[in-house]
Amino acid sequence: MASHGIPRVSGASLDKSEQAKQKERKQIDQYKALESEVTDRIKARDYSNATFQATSKLLSQNPEYYTIWNHRRRLLQDVFARELATGPSGPLIDETDAAAAQKAGLTLAQHEIALLVKEDLLFLIPLLKQYPKCYWIWNHRSWLLSTATQHLPVHNSSELWQGELGLVTKMLSLDSRNFHGWGYRRQVVKEIEQLNGSSMAESEFTYTTKMVETNLSNFSAWHNRSQLIPRILSDRQASSKQRQTFFDSEFELITRALYTDPYDQSLWFYHQYLMATLDASNDQALPILDPCTNTGRVDYLEREIDSIKEMLEGAEDCKYIYQALLEYSSRYIEVEAGNKKVSTVELREWLDELRKLDPLRAGRWRDWQEQLKL
């Protein structure tokens, strides 16, 4: 439907042969028959294994069919409720199951729920691989896990969530900017932290280091890093000095990256983030320095303006450099009224370069010129 990246094909090749049409008609009939089977069974409240298998078959053909996912959950809810109602003295207890449950320290109902959840999580794996952007599959996964968390002891649900961390790590190694992947990772980490009562900020921070080292241009990883920084500093109970050392090392990391590729927008965004932590008017970037004094701000602004000026050599056609110089200079002028570092002449020069290099955003540069009174 909302098709992306599928080339348009010629009209002639779309004229199907009679044979192809017949085949398609047959496929449609089969699909509609399966759909009716599922819908009829659910209407009759037939929450049997056969119905469950029919939903599996239909969802494998069409994982976007959200109502069928809902039916599947209704069915599972019914099974779980029955398991929980039967209790340990139910009439049909399989002895091996009972022994396994006992060994795992679970009630029989918990044991059954854990098995069903694990089985359904496995069912989703090939679907996720084939349709990594389908919201409903991720949704169902989250539902399974939160339902398990509700019914199982902490130890068991924590194990399930740990498995998810492994899965999402694998998925992000295949597509390192998968939006759902990063969002899901944050959700999984939050759940494990809650269950275990301990912070994972340090190990997640290390993970982002690994990810940006593999691919500098991974803004999703840089973003996650920026989210973790306030937490690790607070977890470490970092002193003023330690915070400053940390801040310096982040600048070192990003400056090295920028020297490798000053044309990479992701890197500049991270640099902007670091600078935004110095900006008292930006409520979305918590200060890294503590205390974050005006002298501190001026020092860092001066240092970064100098360092970025040096980057110009050999990269005179890189618009991001001029943008950064203008932005940080205008902030510098605000906090350092004496304004020793930058001259109006320089600002004008940078803006002229920007206009030449980036005519697409001419309107923005015009507004900026007015704002800076150049």
Partner 1 sequence: MSLAAGPGRGHVAVGQLPEELKLVVDKHVAYIQSLDTRKDELEYHLTEHLRIGGIYWGLTALHLLGHPDALPREGLIDYVLSCLCESGGFGAAPGHDAHILYTGYSVQILTMIDGFGALEERLPDCKQKIARFVASHQQPDGTFAGDEWGEIDTRFLFSALYTLSLLGYLPHQRPSEPPLINLPAATAYIKACQNFDGAFGVSPGAESHSGQVFTCVGALYIAGELDSYLGEEGKDRLGAWLSERQLPSGGLNGRPEKLVDVCYSWWVMSSMAMIGRLHWIDKAKLTAFILQCQDPDEGGMADRPGDMVDVFHTVFGVAGLSLLGYPGLVEVDPAYCMPRHITAQISK
The residues of the shown chain that bind partner 1, judged by CB under 8 A, are 1-12, 14, 21, 24-25, 27-28, 31-32, 39, 61-62, 64-67, 70, 73, 135, 139, 142-143, 177, 179, 182-183, 186, 217, 219-220, 223-224, 226-227, 264-266, 269, 272-273, 276-277, 281-282, 284-285, 359-364, 367
> Are 325 and 309 in contact, with CB atoms under 8 Å apart?
yes
ω into residue 291 within 30 of 0, thus cis? yes
Pick between residue 100 and residue 315 the one whose CB is nearest to partner 1.
Answer: 315
Max intra-chain CA distance, the chain: 89
Distances from the Cα of 276 to the Cα of 226, 228, 244, 254, 354, angstroms: 11, 15, 15, 14, 22
Pick between residue 149 and residue 266 the one whose CB is nearest to partner 1.
Answer: 266
Residue that has been written with the tokens 């280091």 in this structure: 209
Pick between residue 210 and residue 241 the one whose CB is nearest to partner 1.
Answer: 210
Count how many residues are written for the chain.
374
Q: How far is the CB of 30 from partner 1 (least distance, A)?
A: 10
Report the b/e string of 10-31 with b at 16+ CB within 10 A.
Answer: eeeeeeeeeeeeeeeeeeeeee
Pick between residue 108 and residue 267 the one whose CB is nearest to partner 1.
Answer: 267
> Are 339 and 333 in contact, with CB atoms under 8 Å apart?
yes
Three-class secondary structure of residue 293 per DSSP: coil
Q: How far is the CB of 91 from partner 1 (least distance, A)?
A: 32
Q: Cα angle vertex 272, ends 309, 186, to 5°? A: 150
Q: How far is the CB of 70 from partner 1 (least distance, A)?
A: 5
Pick between residue 107 and residue 220 the one whose CB is nearest to partner 1.
Answer: 220
Pick between residue 107 and residue 277 the one whose CB is nearest to partner 1.
Answer: 277
Q: How far is the CB of 177 from partner 1 (least distance, A)?
A: 8
| Alpha-carbon span 138 to 125, nearest angstrom | 10
